[in-house]
């Protein structure tokens, strides 16, 4: 399953960066779109994260491809 790097911004300015699988990201977006409140557990590559949905201000999904190493410009 592919993972996405996601920034979850909270009311007050804090930002949590996590690597979420497709299912976890879909569940989070569905809960936010449905106006859910309370806590939701997200399974990330780094472990389980509990998020208070009522305090989420935004979700940003990283669109840039990830590269390892140096890029040679010939």
The residue assigned the tokens 């990201």 is 25
- pLDDT value, residue 73: 67
The residue assigned the tokens 């190493």 is 69
pLDDT at 71 over 90: no
- Of 3.40.50, 2.60.40, 3.30.200, 2.30.30, which CATH number belongs to 3-61? 2.30.30
- pLDDT value, residue 6: 94
Distance CA 44, CA 55 (A): 19
Distance CA 11, CA 57 (A): 5
The reported pTM is 0.78
The residue assigned the tokens 């699988």 is 21
**pLDDT band for position 65 (cuts 50, 70, 90):** low
Span 8-61, pLDDT tens digits: 999 999 999 999 999 999 999 999 999 988 999 999 988 999 999 999 999 999
Sequence ranges of the domains in the chain:
3-61
């Amino acid at each position: 399953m592919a993972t996405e790097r996601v920034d979850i911004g909270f009311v007050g300015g804090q930002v949590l960066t996590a690597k979420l699988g497709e299912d976890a990201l879909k569940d989070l977006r569905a809960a936010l779109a449905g106006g859910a409140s309370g806590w939701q557990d997200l399974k990330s590559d780094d472990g389980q994260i509990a998020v208070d949905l009522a305090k989420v201000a935004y979700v940003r999904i990283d669109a840039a491809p990830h590269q390892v190493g140096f890029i040679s410009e010939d």
